[in-house]
Amino acid sequence: MIWSPKYETMPRKDLERLQLERLKAQVARLNEKVPFYRQAFLDKGITPASIRSLADVARLPFTAKHDFRDNYPFGLLAVPHDEVVRIHASSGTTGKPVVAPYTSGDIEMWTEVMARTLTSAGMSKMDIMQNAYGYGLFTGGLGFHYGGERVGAAVIPTSTGNTKRQLMLIQDLGTTVITCTPNYALIIAETALEIGLDLKSTRLRLGVLGAEPWSERMRAEIEAKLPIKAIDIYGLTEIVGPGVSVECPHQCGMHIFEDHFLAEIVDPRTGEQLPYGEKGELVLTTLTKEALPVIRFRTKDITSLDPSPCKCGRTLVRMSKVTGRTDDMLIVRGINVFPSQIESVLLEVEGVEPHYQIIVDREHHLDELEIWVEVSEAVFSDEMRKLESLEKRVRKELESVLGISPRIKLVEPKSLARTEGKAKRVIDRREL
Partner 1 sequence: MKARQVSVFVENQPGRLVAMLEALQTRNIDIRALSVADNADFGIVRMILSDTRLGADVLREAGFTVKETTVLQKDMPDRPGGLLETVARPLSEAGINLEYFYAFLDPAPGKATIVIKVADPERAERVLGP
Catalog residues that contact partner 1 under the rule CB under 8 A: 375-377, 380-384, 387-388, 409-415
Burial label for 366, CB within 10 Å (0-12, 13-18, 19+), is: exposed
200 vs 385, which CB is nearer to partner 1?
A: 385
Query: Own/partner pairs for 24-32, CB < 8 Å, 24+ apart?
Result: 24/48, 24/51, 26/285, 26/286, 26/287, 26/288, 26/293, 26/295, 27/51, 27/60, 27/295, 29/78, 29/293, 30/78, 30/293, 30/295
136 vs 351, which CB is nearer to partner 1?
A: 351
Supply the minimum distance, in Å, between the C-beta of residue 359 and partner 1. 13
Supply the minimum distance, in Å, between the C-beta of residue 394 and partner 1. 13
**Partners of 241 in the beta sheet?**
236
Phi first, then psi: give them for residue 248, nearest 5 degrees. -95, 175
Q: Please give the C-alpha separations between residue 113 and each of 109, 154, 233, 288, in angstroms, as whole numbers.
A: 6, 18, 12, 12
198 vs 377, which CB is nearer to partner 1?
A: 377
Q: Which residues of 124-161 are buried (b: 16+ CB within 10 A; e: fewer)?
A: eeebbbbbbbbbebbbbbbbbbbbbbbbebbbbebbbe
Supply the minimum distance, in Å, between the C-beta of residue 368 and partner 1. 15
115 vs 375, which CB is nearer to partner 1?
A: 375
Supply the minimum distance, in Å, between the C-beta of residue 414 and partner 1. 6
Contact call for residues 2 and 313 (beta carbons, < 8 A): yes
126 vs 427, which CB is nearer to partner 1?
A: 427
198 vs 363, which CB is nearer to partner 1?
A: 363
382 vs 420, which CB is nearer to partner 1?
A: 382
27 vs 408, which CB is nearer to partner 1?
A: 408
Supply the minimum distance, in Å, between the C-beta of residue 345 and partner 1. 19
Q: With H, G, I as helix, E, B as strand and everything else as coil, classify residue 427.
A: strand
Residues with Cβ within 8 Å of 356's Cβ and at least 6 positions away in sequence, in order, are 342, 343, 346, 371, 372, 373, 374, 416, 425
Which of 403, 390, 280 is closest to 346 using CA atoms?
390
Supply the minimum distance, in Å, between the C-beta of residue 397 and partner 1. 19
Burial label for 28, CB within 10 Å (0-12, 13-18, 19+), is: middle
Supply the minimum distance, in Å, between the C-beta of residue 370 and partner 1. 10
> Cα–Cα distance between 256 and 348 in angstroms, integer?
29
274 vs 410, which CB is nearer to partner 1?
A: 410
Strands 356-363 and 366-374: antiparallel
Q: Please give the C-alpha separations between residue 52 and each of 23, 39, 41, 260, 389, in angstroms, as whole numbers.
A: 10, 20, 15, 19, 58
282 vs 379, which CB is nearer to partner 1?
A: 379
Contact call for residues 116 and 146 (beta carbons, < 8 A): no
Supply the minimum distance, in Å, between the C-beta of residue 392 and partner 1. 12
Supply the minimum distance, in Å, between the C-beta of residue 384 and partner 1. 5
> Cα–Cα distance between 12 and 17 in angstroms, integer?
8
Supply the minimum distance, in Å, between the C-beta of residue 146 and partner 1. 50
